[in-house]
Amino acid sequence: MTQQTLRLSTTVPAPAHAVWEVLTDLTRAAERLRGIQSVQIMSSGPYAVGTRWRETRSFFGRPATEEMWVRENDPLRSTVVESGEGDTTYRTVWELVPHGPLDDEGEAPATELRVSFTGTTSDSAVSRAAMAVLGPLGLRAVRRALQKDLEDISTAAQDMVGRRSP
């Protein structure tokens, strides 16, 4: 197997419950995250293991739609989202870590939001060649998209609690 991984993080000046709500509210994702053009939810019920949706983003100037699903979910702490096409699997891990002193209700005023993205493909000669050529370019595009997502999640979470960063 061939893998490409990237990790990013930001400190969001909002408590974990607000960050979690923004991160897992698929119905408002296209409205809150600049990089998402549309979301089509394919399952019913609350965000949980097994939740499925189609997400359309623009990559390299063209719409790209991926079917995604929740593989793991630990509310207010972490969620793992996967998608895949052919012999390639994409895994995105979101982690929320309370940041700062706890208030009277046991909640920190800020949250470190970490994201780890991994693309894994088979070891076939064609897959290795494609990853060698397109992998770095694709990883840069994913890095830009996830950086925007971190910024937008932070802004939306701050809006939820009535605070704006200066």
The DSSP secondary-structure symbol of 76 reads: T
Distance CA 74, CA 49 (A): 9
Model confidence over 107-142: pLDDT tens digits?
899 999 999 999 887 765 555 555 554 566 678 888
Give the start-to-end residue ranges of the domains of the chain: 2-160
Decide if 148 contacts 13 (C-beta within 8 A): no
Query: Integer distance in angstroms from the first to the last C-alpha of the chain?
Result: 45
Model confidence over 69-117: pLDDT tens digits?
999 999 999 999 999 877 888 999 999 999 998 888 888 999 999 999 9
Please provide the CATH number assigned to the domain covering 2-160: 3.30.530.20
Q: What is the largest CA-CA distance in the chain?
A: 58
pTM attached to this predicted model: 0.87
Is the C-alpha dihedral spanning 121, 123, 127, 130 positive or negative? positive
